[in-house]
């Protein structure tokens, strides 16, 4: 696993990455597109995460982001440092993964085998 994380710049960067991945799998990007085959995590799940926390708080490994023929990812990062502690909105995110780690830098790492 790479130590460098690419946090999406914005929603366009996020969608572009997943469109590239779907195209490399000879699929169209849709909610049903599975980006992690062992767990069945699909685009609808990650799209919902982005809607809750913002695209700029969701990331993937830098080397996976820069792979032209990317077909899948098995790690997603969520930066929880940017949330306003006085925000009354509670965010419920399905963190079901083979490994969930809360790093000391305030980033949640989700990894699927």
| Average pLDDT rounded to a whole number, residues 13-34 | 97
Task: Say what the pLDDT of residue 52 is.
Answer: 86
Q: Could you tell me what percent of the chain has a pLDDT over 90? A: 76
For 55-103, the pLDDT digits (tens) are: 999 999 999 999 999 999 999 999 988 766 566 676 778 888 999 999 9
Name the average pLDDT for the chain: 90
Task: Say what the pLDDT of residue 2 is.
Answer: 58
Per-position b or e across 69-81, b if 16+ CB within 10 A of its CB: ebeebbbbbbbee
| Count of domains observed in the chain | 1
Q: Could you tell me what percent of the chain has a pLDDT over 70? A: 91
Tell me the pTM: 0.90
- Report whether 58 contacts 77 (CB < 8 A): yes
| SS3 category, 31 | coil
**Host domain of residue 39:** 5-111
Task: Say what the pLDDT of residue 29 is.
Answer: 97
Please state, as a whole number, how many other Cβ atoms lie within 10 Å of the Cβ of residue 18.
19
Q: Distance from CA of residue 91 to its chain's centroid?
A: 16
| SS3 category, 6 | strand
Task: Say what the pLDDT of residue 102 is.
Answer: 92
Which element (helix H / strand E) includes 18? helix 11-24
């Amino acid at each position: 696993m790479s130590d460098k994380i690419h946090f999406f710049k914005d929603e366009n960067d996020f969608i572009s990455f997943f469109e590239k991945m779907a195209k490399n799998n000879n699929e169209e990007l849709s909610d049903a597109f599975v980006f992690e085959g062992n767990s069945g995590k699909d685009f609808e799940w990650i799209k919902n995460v982005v809607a809750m926390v913002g695209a700029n708080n969701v990331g993937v490994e830098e080397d996976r982001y820069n792979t032209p023929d990317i077909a899948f990812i098995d790690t997603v990062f969520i930066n929880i440092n940017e949330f306003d502690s006085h925000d009354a909105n509670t965010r419920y995110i399905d963190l079901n993964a083979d490994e969930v780690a809360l790093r000391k830098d305030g980033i949640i790492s989700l990894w699927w085998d």
